[in-house]
Structure 1
Amino acid sequence: MTLNAYFNIMQGQVANFGKKKKQKRNQKGITERHKTLYHHTLHKLFFRVKNTHLIEY
């Protein structure tokens, strides 16, 4: 096996690995991920506001 052939095989494996990861991520659903992100940011904002109010009063 030549070095060139080896590199070609490795490149193919890397490409497939990336594809598989992307497919898995898409299965979960983009909306689902956005929901969780939105939820977390909301919580952070809410608690930050709450804490500042607690300090003020």
Structure 2
Amino acid sequence: MKADLFQQLLSGVKEMVAIENGELQPNSSRVRRHVVPDADFELTKNRFKVAKNLKKK
């Protein structure tokens, strides 16, 4: 892998970690939100045995 490509990848990973840790806010134009129907939410929660404290937004 070329050094410059690796540095771009590494920079993106560091940005992702900072966003996950709440240290950085993502650019609002790149954030997407999708509405999940109740039936799909319940099916997914039950199928994957998701923690009981999972709440629909």
TM-score, structure 2 as length reference? 0.38
Q: With the length of structure 1 as denominator, give the TM-score of the two structures.
A: 0.38
Structure with the larger helix share: 1
**Higher RCO (C-alpha 8 Å, min separation 6):** 2
Q: Which has the larger radius of gyration?
A: 1
